[in-house]
Amino acid sequence: MGSHNSAHDVSSPWVDGLTLGQTLRETARRHPASDACVFFDLAARMTWAEFDREVDVVARSLLALGFEPGDHFGVWATNVPEWVILQFATARIGVVLVNINPSYRTSELKYALRQSDVRGLALIDTFKSSNFFDMLNKACLELASSVPGELKSAEFPKLQWVVSLRGNRPAGALSWNDLRARADNVSDGRVEEVAGSLSPSDAVNIQYTSGTTGQPKGAMLSHRNLLLNAFYAGHFQRITSADRICIPVPLYHCFGCVLGTLCCVVHGSAMIFPAEAFQAGATLAAIEQERCTAIYGVPTMFIAQLEHEDYPGRDLSSLRTGIMAGSPCPIELMKRVTQEMGASEITIGYGQTEASPLITQTRTDDPIELRVGTVGRPIPGFEVKIVDVGSGNELGDGQSGELCGRGHGVMLGYYNLPDKTAEAIDAEGWLHTGDIALREPNGYYRITGRLRDMIIRGGENVYPREVEERLHQHPAVEDVQVVGIPNLRLSEEVLAWVKLKKGQTATEDELREFCRAALAHFKVPRYWKFVDGFPTTVTGKIQKFKIREQAIDELGLQDVAKIETA
């Protein structure tokens, strides 16, 4: 493994050539008694030695259930301790973790379970207005009458095991304790044997990312993809084993489970989870009481903390660095976070799930104008080029075009979607991001727009097509156009222009409820307008940018639309 000095060698990261399981084992060996993870709201904590042991117990349990390298295991939960344990227990025995968004409704869950071929699924009971067990029972009708391990579902032929992470165990499922009890049937030696057979280039994670065509696609990521990203993300924040990273971002997203948990495992720093889902007050309390040195978040989260009533009274003096990413970062907000909150070395990251996720990142010692006005430089081992959208020719400095990236972070492909993979990654291995950017003469990049009509609302990707397809199912709707409009807090909000069928009526509330029944809350339009038609080109193609411009005027959002971002 080399000495600890090599832990920061950028040219050859110490994790290159290792699996997730081996990396955790080594970190537990180096820092056995240091905090590995703290779940602030549960007052629960584990050292690296305890965490590594617990991961082994659950790895043995999964082997006892018959899981083998290459099997898929889904986790559908908020930021609970079992999520992190399962992330590393599955990885240690080569089982592919499938992240499922806890905001999903039944139809979205059904699609993800079927498309990902999961053999096992772990889920929580309820959160806010979501009853996860109810939704699963609606999606998988055979579960309630089945015996654990013997599920035979017509919709999900691969699904065999369901594990409930808390609450009353539903029929057909194992409880978390039932699962852990199975570990006694398998020896430590068996885990070592399976772990030793794995390769760093194997897929270890499938993360769903919204597709432009409506249905999400599962990006397959390898041990090496994720470990190198985690290494560099930490390196450019100057993270060491003395750091404590506050992680209020969701684990199902790569921000939480790569830049968060994995970055901590690679660098031996503590992961601090303020609550199971983002709460500004809990985040501020966790930073103060756990003396966090780094804070992660999308711009919305930082705004919510700065505006929270507890903010003036909290001691945040431990903060030094962190990452702001997930949607365009307003320059004024970056200034407040670096100056007022005290995270003077905070970095901005840019990337996407398909790149594991970071493609570029600012450095802690960059001058403030570069740290707030750009998305930084490519991370080592990643090449970036800007190409003309029409011709595909490479463009020079200062010219806007599509940003393409190539290197260790590029996903293995989309699971079971070879055509979509070929659209995203060209024959030379370049990932086409769909984001419009330009390179400054100093080698720093700025994101200037998006090729596709994706909306980024508070760090969540919303594809208009998916919302439109839902509204088209309403009997009164003839046509609908969904666009993103600027919003101070969330960066963008969702707007729907609806054309009703002749003689039909529907109210805004009715359509909103209709969307809520099938879509995650963040996809439901906030703004509605009933129209007789849409702006079109001569050939009849609808011009979404004109809808957006008109909405900005009608809603008086001209000032918000002008806010500068990196």
Q: Model confidence over 146-165: pLDDT tens digits?
A: 999 999 999 999 999 999 99
- Together in a domain, 234 and 262: yes
The domain total for the chain is 3
Last residue of a domain, one of 397, 431, 450: 450
What is the spatial distance between Cα 530 and Cα 88, in angstroms, rounded to a whole number? 49
Residue 381 region by backbone torsions, left for phi larger than 0, else alpha for psi between -120 and 50, else beta: left
| 3-class SS shares of the chain: helix, strand, coil, % to 5 | 35, 25, 40
pLDDT at 4: 43
pLDDT at 269: 98
- Together in a domain, 133 and 225: no
Q: 131: which strand partners?
A: 126
pLDDT at 5: 46
Q: Token match 């930082």: residue?
A: 302
Is 28 part of any domain? no
Q: How confident is the model at residue 249 (pLDDT cuts 50, 70, 90)?
A: very high
Average pLDDT taken over every residue of the chain: 93
Among 148, 88, 94, residue whose Cα is nearest residue 121: 148
Among 195, 210, 269, residue whose Cα is nearest residue 7: 269
Q: How far, rounded to the nearest angstrom, does the alpha carbon of residue 191 sit from its chain's CA centroid?
A: 29
Residue 279 tokens read as 């709460």
Q: How confident is the model at residue 29 (pLDDT cuts 50, 70, 90)?
A: very high
Residue 130 tokens read as 């979501």
| 217-222, strands of its sheet edge to edge | 174-175, 161-164, 120-123, 72-76, 96-100, 203-209, 217-222, 413-414
Cα–Cα distances (Å) from 457 to 301, 452, 480, 521, in that order, read 12, 15, 19, 11
Beta strands in 212-346 (DSSP E): 217-222, 244-246, 270-273, 294-297, 321-324
pLDDT at 565 > cutoff 90: no
Instruction: State the pairing for strand pair 161-164/120-123.
Output: parallel
- Together in a domain, 87 and 186: yes
- Together in a domain, 402 and 498: no
CB 349 within 8 A of CB 379: no
Cα–Cα distances (Å) from 371 to 166, 297, 405, in that order, read 42, 16, 21
pLDDT at 469: 83
- Together in a domain, 179 and 55: yes
Query: Which one has a higher pLDDT value, 542 or 279?
Result: 279
pLDDT at 12 > cutoff 60: yes
Residues 65-70 have a mean pLDDT of 98
Is 24 part of any domain? no
Q: Token match 């409820």: residue?
A: 513
- Together in a domain, 302 and 408: yes
Is 213 part of any domain? no
- Together in a domain, 225 and 185: no
Q: Token match 């079992």: residue?
A: 82
Q: 221: which strand partners?
A: 205
Cα–Cα distances (Å) from 366 to 84, 375, 504, in that order, read 33, 11, 58
Percentage of residues in the chain having pLDDT higher than 90: 82
Is 358 part of any domain? yes
Amino acid at 430: W
- Together in a domain, 480 and 514: yes
Amino acid at 431: L
Beta strands in 410-490 (DSSP E): 413-414, 431-439, 445-450, 455-457, 460-462, 477-487
- pTM of the prediction? 0.89
- Together in a domain, 471 and 443: no
pLDDT at 539: 60
Is 366 part of any domain? yes
Query: pLDDT per residue over 345-358, tens digit each?
Result: 999 999 999 999 99
pLDDT at 215: 79
Amino acid at 270: A
Residues 6+ away with beta carbon under 8 Å from 105: 135, 517, 518, 519, 520
pLDDT at 156: 98
Q: How confident is the model at residue 545 (pLDDT cuts 50, 70, 90)?
A: confident
pLDDT at 500 > cutoff 80: yes
Q: How confident is the model at residue 1 (pLDDT cuts 50, 70, 90)?
A: very low
pLDDT at 260: 98
- Together in a domain, 435 and 290: yes
CATH code of residue 122? 3.40.50.980
What is the spatial distance between Cα 357 and Cα 347, in angstroms, rounded to a whole number? 15
Percentage of residues in the chain having pLDDT higher than 70: 97
Among 273, 176, 204, residue whose Cα is nearest residue 24: 204
pLDDT at 454: 82
pLDDT at 540 > cutoff 70: no
Query: pLDDT per residue over 100-151, tens digit each?
Result: 999 999 999 999 999 999 999 999 999 999 999 999 999 999 999 999 999 9
What is the spatial distance between Cα 184 and Cα 171, in angstroms, rounded to a whole number? 24
pLDDT at 77 > cutoff 50: yes
What is the spatial distance between Cα 58 and Cα 229, in angstroms, rounded to a whole number? 26
| 382-387, strands of its sheet edge to edge | 382-387, 401-407, 431-439, 445-450
3-state DSSP call for residue 181? Answer: helix
CB 206 within 8 A of CB 257: no
Q: How confident is the model at residue 464 (pLDDT cuts 50, 70, 90)?
A: confident
Last residue of a domain, one of 152, 168, 198: 198
Residues 39-44 have a mean pLDDT of 98
pLDDT at 514 > cutoff 50: yes
What is the spatial distance between Cα 253 and Cα 220, in angstroms, rounded to a whole number? 13
- Together in a domain, 381 and 490: no
Is 32 part of any domain? no
pLDDT at 212: 45
CB 523 within 8 A of CB 513: no
Domain hosting residue 348, numbered range:
218-450
pLDDT at 250: 96
What is the spatial distance between Cα 281 and Cα 305, in angstroms, rounded to a whole number? 7
CATH code of residue 482? 3.30.300.30
What is the spatial distance between Cα 120 and Cα 114, in angstroms, rounded to a whole number? 12
Find the range with the poorest average confidence among 185-194, 279-288, 464-473.
464-473
Residues 402-420 have a mean pLDDT of 97
What's the residue count for the chain? Answer: 566
Amino acid at 35: D
Last residue of a domain, one of 428, 450, 472: 450
- Together in a domain, 89 and 222: no
Is 260 part of any domain? yes
Is 19 part of any domain? no
Query: pLDDT per residue over 165-219, tens digit each?
Result: 999 999 999 999 999 999 999 999 999 999 999 999 999 999 998 644 457 899 9
> Using CB atoms within 10 A of its CB, is residue 452 exposed (0-12), middle (13-18) or buried (19+)?
exposed
pLDDT at 3 > cutoff 90: no
CB 94 within 8 A of CB 70: yes
pLDDT at 2: 40
CATH code of residue 316? 3.40.50.12780
